[in-house]
Amino acid sequence: MATAPKEAENTIGLEEIRMERQESPKGHKMFTVEEAVEAIGFGRFHILLFLIMGSTGVAEAMEIMLIAVVSPLIRCEWQLQDWQVALVTTMVFFGYMVFSIVLGLLADRYGRWKILLLSFLWGAYFSLLTSFAPSYIWFVFLRAMVGGGVSGHAQGLIIKTEFLPTKYRGYMLPLSQVFWLAGSMLIIGLASVVNPTIGWRWLIRIASIPGILLILVFKFIPESARYNISMGNVAAALATLQRIAKMNGVAMPEGVLREPAKERRGRFKDLIHPKYLRTTLQIWIIWLGIAFAYYGVILASAELLERDLVCGSSAPPVQDSGDDSEESRSPCHCCLFGPTAYQTMIISAVGEIALNPLNIVGINFLGRRLSLSITMGCTALFFLLLNSYPSSAGMTGFLFMLRALVSANFNTIYIYTAEVYPTTMRALGMGTSGSLCRVGAMVAPFISQVLMNASFLGALCLFSSVCAVCAISAFTLPIETKGRALQVCITTTGAPAKCYSKCSLET
């Protein structure tokens, strides 16, 4: 598949910058949103943005990690087999996959802020309903609806990306992983107290509180100025930029904010435009593989703890004369997590930020592609090494490293995807990538919770092979986004000016 040389890409970028800085025929200076964001720099507004939008990761982590700490209880309460427990997680990500595309399209058409608010309202509502589920079928359906709401949380990352100056994106976005860690540790800590006392239904109700609180503070974050300008709403974009400049205590650039020609909003066919076709396909492969590995590690951790630390190979079998199924005879059928299991889960969760400093250095100095390729390759290696752990302490160590690596993978691909697509299709690009990501997440439970019980080494080899493919795909990505300004719309080699004179695809 032919791609433009890197030099051509750089030439296009330089020509666009020269065009953006030129004066209008009337002699008035003009500036773009990109120039305004860079001139305003990093300040109080961005700290507030980081805290509020970053906290969406707390709510998302609690909702996603919830299944791992609730699975042993619903397995016991409803007498579920392995595949039924795995199906719960799969349906959560099925809802996520379907709604990711829909909400991505809506966000590119109606705004990131509105869709983010809608997704939190949706998620909180169905999460509360889940706590009253009368049966397994209802539980699965309602959790799928929660997954649909959680899929809209990606708009928070897009808003952060579109407000951050270029040189800060590679630093601030990986630091957002701290919020995911906080959510993971919070739900594990709550589970260790709530599950044994008042039960898993109250755990779900408590887990929905952070999302509800965030809804109340979203009013402090404005709609993306890049989105407004791409819609031709110059007044709203200018007001937002002036508000940010005032909060940061700096002056706005001199001149008039340039209004680009209004362009049709992001469509699926734009993702496979010749300029982005190869990038899109490889990004989809990477997202799918990273999610497969990430949620595979999380679910495998819970499964290994439930089987090894909780039950133990010497535990006496549970006898139930009313059910002769293999699952009912399992010593793990109604064994719940104890303090040791929760402690191990917390230790492995801390791995989420263990490699953050190295990840930040790699992203900013090695570039997005090479950094991702290295961490994906190491993930493949550690999956194979997991087969050789000699003790529970060794298992904890390997799980810790795997969580660190898969977390670094997610950091990098999130940043790369948000940077590589132009404003007019950024939310759609994130949405479709998120959908492919959930395909991997949907398959992961059946590998971690079903195949792993049948063939431990076979499951690990499968995870390792997928990670190796993703490492190769990351290394061969055609576009490097390190130090690259966010694009407004699609441009093609030989006609850079058309991004502003006629913001549409060339045919």
Tens digits of residue pLDDT in 411-455: 899 888 888 888 777 777 877 887 788 788 889 988 987 888 788
- Write down the H helix ranges in 78-176: 82-110, 112-130, 136-150, 154-163, 166-175
pLDDT of residue 390: 60
Query: Which phi and psi (to 5°) does residue 489 adopt?
Result: -155, 180
Residue 397 near residue 391, CB atoms below 8 Å: no
The model's pLDDT over 122-163, given as tens digits with 9 standing for 90+, comes to 999 999 999 999 999 999 999 999 989 988 887 887 888 888
Say whether pLDDT at 331 is over 50.
no
Q: Which one-letter DSSP state was computed for residue 388?
A: G
pLDDT of residue 262: 52
The model's pLDDT over 179-223, given as tens digits with 9 standing for 90+, comes to 888 998 999 999 999 999 999 999 999 999 999 999 989 888 899
Helix (H, G, I), strand (E, B) or coil at 30: strand
**Which helix (DSSP H) or strand (DSSP E) does residue 205 occupy?**
helix 200-207
The tokens 């790699």 sit on which residue?
Answer: 362
User: Whole-model pTM above 0.85?
Assistant: no
Tell me how far apart the alpha carbons of residues 227 and 291 are, in angstroms, rounded to a whole number.
28
The model's pLDDT over 246-266, given as tens digits with 9 standing for 90+, comes to 999 998 888 888 766 555 555
The model's pLDDT over 378-408, given as tens digits with 9 standing for 90+, comes to 999 999 888 876 667 777 788 888 888 988 9
Helix (H, G, I), strand (E, B) or coil at 196: coil
The model's pLDDT over 25-73, given as tens digits with 9 standing for 90+, comes to 455 678 888 888 888 989 999 999 989 988 888 988 898 888 888 988 8
- Assigned token pair, 394: 């060794």
Query: Which phi and psi (to 5°) does residue 30 adopt?
Result: -130, 150
Those residues whose C-beta lies under 8 Å from the C-beta of residue 357, and which sit 6 or more positions away, are none
pLDDT of residue 44: 92
61 in the Ramachandran plot: left (φ > 0), alpha (ψ -120 to 50) or beta? alpha
Residue 407 near residue 352, CB atoms below 8 Å: yes
